Structure 1
Amino acid sequence: MDYKKRLGLLVTADSLIVVFSIFIGFWLLVPTSTILPEAIIVSSIALFFAHHVFAHLFKLYKRVWQYASIQELSAIFAAVSLSITAVALIQIIGYQTIFARTLLVTWMLHILLIGASRFSWRIYRDSLMKGNTEKKRTLIIGAGNGGTLVARQLMNSIKSELHPVAFIDDDFTKQNLEIMSIPVLGRTKDIEDVVVTKNIEHIIIAIPSLTKTELNTIFDACSKTKVRTQIMPSVEDIMSGKVTVSQIRDVQVEDLLGREPVELDTEKIGAKLTGKTVLVTGAGGSIGSEICRQVCAFNPDKLILLGHGENSIYSIDMELKVTFPHLSVETEIADVQDADRMKDVMNEHQPDVVYHAAAHKHVPLMEKNPHEAVKNNVIGTKNTAEAAHEAGVTTFVMVSTDKAVNPTSVMGATKRIAEMVVQHMDRISDTRFVAVRFGNVLGSRGSVIPLFKKQIEAGGPVTVTDPKMTRYFMTIPEASRLVLQAGSLAEGGEVFVLDMGEPVKIVDLAKNLIRLSGFRDDEIEIMYSGMRPGEKLFEELLGKDEVHDEQIYPMIYRGKTPPVDVDVVYDLIEDFEQFPITTLREYTLDLAHFRLTKAKQLSLVK
């Protein structure tokens, strides 16, 4: 029904209700009267016009009544009460009296009939939904604002496949109560029992304020039921318009692992990026592409996407041009190992800020290919840093790793040597050079999570190297935020480290993914394959001599790294190609650990 037909129907119905109400009011009080007094006619006309005026003011003709709630009821009460008040004033002026009892009966009938005419639409709609037996019986975890928001959305949506039948909430004051006619049947510990007794087919976790620890506890209880468990979007995403409440999603491993995210100092970051030219190397990678997305939020004057792989650069370029059409985004296909090309790019674009995310990062592969690790991680960093220095870049931020601390792998050693290059450049340049270390990134290319998922899809086994192996974890957006924040805090020469909380056992990560995939731990085998070359049982973010106790920003520390013998570093860069694999591996590890004496260096070269 279009708006004009709907408006005509409502105005006609309201007009009949107004006349009916006041005439019935007089008839109930003066049943033997056969002649309508003049007061009835005048009062009826007054109520007719007053009602339509106040109905318009309170938008009774513009509300969607199938979603009617307390707010709509309040609007009806106000419009009717003011209409009756207007009639009373006219009776005082015209007749020096108020037919109080008649107006009281009229007021009650008026509210009853207007309310019934409106709420009958919602009652009819709700009855249709209740009659739909195909909807899945749904348990909502959380009877607060988030839970009631989800329940209302599900109850108001004919298209939804879910029907809420019960709440779970740990607030003892809500136990045994009902919210929107949905009972609160227990606490987290009662989830299994409620699922059985209420024949639950679906679970939604609807507490946006949950910490990681609390979410883990609730998900553990839900996973024991083998019922599909989902989670509502964050309040921030709903309010910003990114998603709606109905866009409930599956619980992801990112929700269960890691720690609470660091809040950005957006004012400080904006001062560094807004209106500036920003260049990102490795812009097509997991970290580089996310850095680009977050940089765009600060409205730079120009963003340059630099990478070696044309397909990945094309993908992020197309994405950013759709998401941020007002921004100037340019692409450069270039290899950081090509010093002349890097200088040309820097001189052409004259960036204010450079985020250097291009690197080889796969530990076992770099053990087999140490020459490539040196070329990309060390020489590539040197080329990019020197080009940034010559172009007069203000700030250069290198993306590093926790594997650079006490490295046992070629990858970690080359990243530590790259940090040495950056620290040396800071001493000889007006550009502020810094490095940022963080742990493993959830869902990045080559990470363990995609591997585990494929193994689970194949029915197992899931291969874990060692039951004691632990790693620090963070999400890709969080890692990228740290890089931006570090750039805003840079004074030059620092190695910034994020306090990542407690490390996570890889076997626990595997178990979480098994449960998230709808299996019990005993349904998918976990097999221990042994540590691979270059790996260690646990990672560190700072060596014991590198730690500054005070935080320079919430959850961010500044490391103090030992002085660098840059001559030894540059000797490696000059001579690495002549080394056999085993010798180069030893050379890089010794250099990263500051164990490379001149005598040993000469013996290795020979």
Structure 2
Amino acid sequence: MTCDFIFVLLAFWFVNFSLRGLPGGVKALTLPLIFLLTVINIIIYWIGGLYNTLWAFTGTREVLQIGFVTLIASGVDLAIGLIIQNRLRYVQYIFVWITLFMFALALRMSYRLLRYLRDWLSARSRRAHRRVLVVGADEYGSILVSQMQDGRLALGTPVVILDDNRLKWNKRVHGVKVYGGIDKLGKVVRIYSIDEVVVASPNILHDQIKQIYDTAASFGCEVRVSQGLEDSLKMDFTGPLTLRELDLNDLVGRKEVQIDIDEIRGYIEHRTVLITGAGGSIGTEVARQVALYDPARIILFDWYENLVFELLNDLKLKFHKGIEFCVEIGSVQDKACLTRLFEKYMPSVVFHAAAHKHVPLMENNPSEAVKNNVFGTYNIASMSEQYGVERFVFISTDKSVNPTNVMGATKYLAERVVQTLAKGAQTRFACVRFGNVLGSAGSVIPIFRKQIKNGGPLTITNKQMVRYFMTINEAGALVIEAGSMAQAGEVYILRMGEPVRILDLAFQLIRMSGLEPYKDIDIIETGPRQGEKMYEELQRSEETMTNTRNPDIMMCENVAENKLDLAALFTQLDDALHRSNDEIKQTLQALVPGYQIDDRSWSGDV
């Protein structure tokens, strides 16, 4: 209030001073009148609520409030001048209002600015004491160091750089020494008392990121990574660079799958695309990636309305370019429902992701696995052929190879059903087979994260168990790319890289949570679950892999050439569905080469 009093006095003095030497006989305001008007203005400010507002959060509403209150005050000033016949020129009262408004606004904005500067300087002071090691002495690393030094990137102080290029060793980047190669990380962290490691070179992300993380974590250092090379090349380097915290995809994932955008757009653009199981992890990702290629319509088909409803809202928020998104609730087991669906939309492309995939649950419910995974696949695939669908992509699993469980056995039969329907059909069919998807619903990683959140322990079935993993983006890209290659029921497989031990995943997730395995979080071994294998396979012995136009995708050759007698197959399965679980499994064993029934019971543990 005191500051306002001073500023209002200054405003009237400034306007009063501007009258000197002007013609027209207008008298300057007397000093008593200036004090009177100042007091009146302060009262109006108080009535207008300028003294009961938190100016640290000043926004548009508060600016308008200041403008309105000062306008009222200026009007009252003019009225008083008219009454006592001691006034300024009319036009100068506009100048009075502008001056009052600017002074009042500047006073309140300065409070917010000073608070912001205090917080910024405090945060910068704290960060300045953090000692940062930069991995990568390339252009990106140079910009990163420069931005940390000039304060644009408030991360800390860069004290040393590592790079595997020997020509850069013992050189300096903006005064920061390139100490040596990445193999010196542990030594350098100890010598320089490093608090944080920043991986600046995008080329390092996929080759040595796990080594960097393991070493840094052993010293208690945080790790951040740059954006991918593709993103960094498009960046405006005049602004602060964007870094992110390390996630599990960096440790387990591989180089991003390269896809042929033109080929994909050629079969999706301006067409109607149907995705079954759209509410699931894979179906959701396929829907999001398909939308990038400008289809006319995407039909989201699922039996569980909540998940697909959330997906619909997400897609509508993200895509505003004329794509029609439709939700249809139903089951692939319901032929009448599928008939109505195809007659209503006449889709050109079908991605079939609907399936029961939980291994232990399907061991206890083999009839549901058969109905959904085998009969459901036949229903949607045969309907696609009947209604002239151009391309059909079936999403399979590595568990279909030499299966040891009901889920894998039913997926094997579903593959064979698609291959049989593909022979001589106008529709181009393809099967896509891959391993576990990081973070998908029901997979081990969300279970581990929940167990860590609850304080442990983490439960693994066997410490030597290994699995192939891929990211959800890779899975979606593979499925869509396979659609562009589809011809006659071929099986396409992603190059999965090396399998990962489940125990190693557990260690990494615990450490990424800032905890230590066996110290903060225990890990216990529960024994293999019913139907579970120690390791998964991507191909059967009679299958050989050949390259495709995409180096990341292989095609299985020598896939069983003989057509199934579908009528006989479904008669056997339908008859088994009216019997016990054991008899259903025995029927599957007779139909699926290499399938051995697992007699272990399931306790319900995941």
TM-score (norm 2): 0.73
* Corresponding residue number in structure 2 for 1:587: 587
Q: Aligned partners of 2:437, 2:124: CA distance in 1, in Å?
A: 47
3-state SS, counterpart of residue 515 of structure 1: helix
What's 2:536 paired with? 539
* Maintained 8 Å contact 1:409/1:589: no
Residues 138, 202 of structure 1: 8 Å contact kept: yes
Cα deviation, 1:92-144, whole Å, max 9, x if unaligned, reads xxxxxxxxxxxxxxxxxxxxxxxxxxxxxxxxxxx979982543222212221
1:529 paired to 2:526: yes
Q: Is 1:468 equivalent to 2:464 in the alignment?
A: yes
State how far apart, in whole Å, the 1-side matches of 2:124 and 2:271 are. Answer: 59
Provide the residue aligned with 1:330 in structure 2. Answer: 326
Q: Which residue of 2 aligns with 1:302?
A: 297
- Unpaired segments ≥5 residues, structure 1: 1-126, 597-606
Give a deviation string over 1:22-73, Cα, whole Å, max 9, x none: xxxxxxxxxxxxxxxxxxxxxxxxxxxxxxxxxxxxxxxxxxxxxxxxxxxx
- 1:427 aligns with 423
* Structure 2 residue 318 is the aligned partner of structure 1 residue 320: no
Partner of 1:567: 567
Alpha carbons 1:228, 1:518 under 8 Å: kept: no
2:508 alignment partner, SS class? helix
Within 5 Å, which residues of 2 pair with 1:327-476?
327-427=323-423, 429-476=425-472
Counterparts of 1:317 and 1:302 in 2: how far apart (Å)? Answer: 12
* SS at structure 2 position matched to 1:501: coil
| SS of the residue 2:308 aligns to | helix
Matched, 1:286 2:281: yes
Q: Does 1:268 pair with 2:268?
A: no
| Alpha carbons 1:188, 1:221 under 8 Å: kept | no
2:500 counterpart letter in structure 1: V
Per-residue deviation at 1:482?
A: 0.8
| Compared CA separation, residues 403 and 465, structure 1 to 2 (3 A) | same
* 1:515 corresponds to 2:511: yes
Are residues 134 and 561 of structure 1, via their aligned partners in 2, closer, same or farther at CA, if it must alter by over 3 Å?
Answer: closer
1:577: which partner in 2? 577
Note if contact 1:402-1:437 (Cα within 8 Å) is conserved in structure 2.
yes
Structure 1 residue matching 2:505: 3-state secondary structure? helix
Contact 1:420–1:566 (CA under 8 A) maintained in structure 2? no
Q: Deviations over 1:507-555 (max 9, x none)?
A: 2222222232233445343322111000111111110102244445313
**How far apart are 1:353 and its partner, in Å?**
0.6
Partners of 2:144 and 2:382 in 1: how far apart? 54
Which residue number in structure 1 is paired with residue 46 of structure 2?
none
Aligned position for 1:555: 552
Q: Which whole-Å CA distance do the structure 2 matches of 1:234 and 1:317 have between them? A: 29
C-alpha separation between the residues in 2 aligned to 1:236 and 1:516? 26
Q: What CA distance in whole angstroms lies between the structure 1 residues aligned with 2:265 and 2:482?
A: 13
Following the alignment from structure 2 to structure 1, what is the Cα–Cα distance between the partners of residues 551 and 402?
25
Q: Give the root-mean-square deviation of aligned CA atoms.
A: 2.7
Q: Find the aligned partners of 1:281 and 1:397 in 2 and give their Cα distance.
A: 11
Aligned 1:170-181 pairs, distance under 5 A: 170-181=164-175
In structure 2, do the counterparts of structure 1 residues 129 and 164 end up closer, same or farther at CA, with 3 Å as the change threshold? farther
Question: Could you tell me how far 1:239 is from its partner in structure 2?
Answer: 4.5
1:435 maps to amino acid? C
Cα separation, partners in 2 of 1:521 and 1:143, compared to 1, 3 Å: farther
Listed one character per residue, the Cα deviations across residues 465-488 of structure 1 (whole Å, up to 9, x for unaligned) are: 112211111111101111111111
Alignment correspondent of 2:206: 212
Are the structure 2 counterparts of residues 359 and 595 from structure 1 closer, same or farther at C-alpha, using a change threshold of 3 Å? closer
**Shift in Å at residue 392 of structure 1?**
0.9
Report the Cα distance in structure 1 between the residues aligned to 2:152 and 2:291, rounded to whole angstroms. 38
The alpha-carbon deviation at position 462 of structure 1 amounts to 2.1
Counterpart residue number, 1:234: 228
Residue type at the aligned position of 1:566: L
Match of 1:223 in 2: 217
Pair 1:141 & 2:135 matched:
yes
Say how many residue pairs are matched: 472
Is contact 2:127–2:154 with CA below 8 Å preserved after alignment? no
Contact 1:154 1:246 survives alignment (8 Å): no
1:46-195 counterparts in 2 under 5 A? 132-135=125-128, 136-157=130-151, 160-195=154-189
Q: Which amino acid aligns with 2:388?
A: G
SS of aligned partner of 2:456: coil
The answer to whether the 8 A contact 2:435-2:469 is kept is: yes
Asked whether the 8 Å contact 1:407–1:589 carries over to 2, the reply is no
Please state how far the C-alpha of 1:241 moved relative to its aligned partner: 6.3
Taking a change above 3 Å as real, the CA distance of residues 549 and 430 of structure 1, as seen in their structure-2 partners, is: closer
Q: 1:159 to 1:499 in 2, by over 3 A?
A: closer
Measure, in 2, the Cα distance between the counterparts of 1:285 and 1:131.
44
- 2:402 and 2:595 in contact (8 A); partners too: no
1:423: Cα distance to partner? 1.5
Percent identity of the aligned residues?
A: 40
2:254 corresponds to 1:256: no
Look up the match of 2:55: none
